[in-house]
Amino acid sequence: MPKEQTIIDFEIIWKKINGSLTTDEEILLSQWLDEHPTHPKYLEKALRHYREGLKPGVNKAETEKAWRKLKNRGLKIDRTFSRRRITVAAAVITILLIIPFLLPSKRVKDKSIAIHKGEPIKPGSNKATLILDDGSVYDLTSSKKLLISEGGSEIKSEGDKLEYTEKESLHKEVKYNTLSIPRGGEFFLQLADGTKVWLNSETVLRYPIQFAGIERRVELSGEAFFEVTRNEKVPFIVESNDQSVKVLGTEFNISSYKENPIVYTTLVKGSVEVFARNKPDIKQILVPNEQSSMNKARGEMTKRHVDPYQYVAWREGRFVFDDQTLGEIMKILSKWYNVEVTFDREDLKDIRFTGNLKRYADFGELLKKIEKTDEVAFSIENNKITIR
């Protein structure tokens, strides 16, 4: 007897439409999409129906017809929703399956991925290099453990995380450690004040072994998610390139890679103050679901309302893309899978996609999902990817 399919509550679909899903609901929706091949197909058909002309404000007959189709496909409907919500919901279903937008390219006849030689490309894993204040270097991997004392703190690693425990001391030494994450790596760090930091690939964080004085200051290059322990008397400051972020205790993500012209700060919880280091009068105060963008060359800063899950999903094992170019997507994937990417034509970089994918999936399987759009094809030779 075939396994009964899970019915997803329509409220989750509705909240996704409005960008108000919680982290747990986002995970539930992703699991539902992965559970059975008919689920993403249903969403794909719903989006196609919308793109072909069904939009808010259509006549009642069209709305009722679309709504009946939704109900008949196995969604659990919350009967308390208003008719206005039903109209919009029938028209604006959000799709998480990879689908190309706006810029169709010439179709490629041979869409099969050609792996000429080399082992399958695996996703990143826990790996990091710890550099102590005296210059000592330690390789942190999933198979190595570390337990040392430095500057009045105990430093412990289990291979997937690094933790600092502050010891009682009359005279705190201000010493700095550096944690460096390579391409194809990630790592978790807990600072001496209890602040938690998730570091993404190609990221470097410099921080004091234990905090002393009137502020808690760290330096970031790359991408990290911070869950800062609250201390209203001692603010926490993250310096990244030409930007500074000042908080008392909150949750936020910073993407500040050297090769990218923009520094993005996305707030999940609490509030933060973002300002240009050399121009402190240029600043933004962020509230949850807001993102600041600072142009490093011009020193200009703007902010906008966003769904933060798209920017923090990497911490929970997902890649979430919302109308992003293939060029942007492949930059992100190349860091995580440690591959080199080239395009046959420059215009292929501009094809736009929306999608929600597993971060720990085999790279070849991930590329096959993109190839199903019929927009591009991939060739793989060792760790070199060619897009045509």
Which residue shows structure tokens 């190309």? 100
Q: Token pair of 261, please? A: 């012209």
CA 112/CA 110 separation, integer angstroms: 6
**HSE-CB for 221 with a 13 A CA cutoff:** 11
CATH 3.55.50.30 fits 114-121+317-387, yes or no: yes
Alpha helices, H only, 210-300: none
Q: Return the SS3 of 323.
A: strand
Supply the pLDDT for residue 52.
42
Supply the pLDDT for residue 19.
61
Which DSSP category does 7 fall into? P
Crossing angle of helices 60-72 and 83-91, in 10° steps, is: 70
Q: Which residue positions in the chain have pLDDT lower than 50?
A: 1-2, 4, 49-64, 67-109, 115-116
Q: Are strands 185-190 and 125-131 parallel, antiparallel or unpaired?
A: parallel
CA 301/CA 278 separation, integer angstroms: 13
**HSE-CB for 352 with a 13 A CA cutoff:** 6
Q: Of 164, 166, 162, 163, give the one whose Cα is nearest residue 139.
A: 162
Supply the pLDDT for residue 372.
84
Supply the pLDDT for residue 192.
94
Q: Return the SS3 of 31.
A: helix
Q: Token pair of 60, please? A: 């009642």
Supply the pLDDT for residue 112.
55
Supply the pLDDT for residue 162.
95
**HSE-CB for 60 with a 13 A CA cutoff:** 1
Q: Token pair of 348, please? A: 């292929």
Residue extents of the structural domains in the chain: 10-97, 114-121+317-387, 125-310
Supply the pLDDT for residue 31.
80
Which residues are paired to 196 by β-bridges?
A: 190, 227
Q: Token pair of 80, please? A: 């308390």
Q: Please give the CATH number for the structural domain made up of 125-310.
A: 2.60.120.1440
**Read out DSSP for 157-170?**
E-SSEEEEEEPP-S
- ∠ at Cα 112 (111, 115), nearest 5°? 135
88 and 310 Cβ atoms separated by less than 8 Å: no
Q: Return the SS3 of 339.
A: coil
Is the whole model's pTM more than 0.75, yes or no? no
Supply the pLDDT for residue 333.
96
34 phi and psi, to 5 degrees?
-80, -15
CA 66/CA 50 separation, integer angstroms: 10
183 phi and psi, to 5 degrees?
-60, 140
Dihedral of the alpha carbons of 108, 112, 117, 119, in degrees to the nearest 10: 120
Supply the pLDDT for residue 97.
42
172 and 153 Cβ atoms separated by less than 8 Å: no
Q: If 0-12 CB within 10 Å is exposed, 13-18 middle and 19+ buried, where does residue 213 land? A: exposed
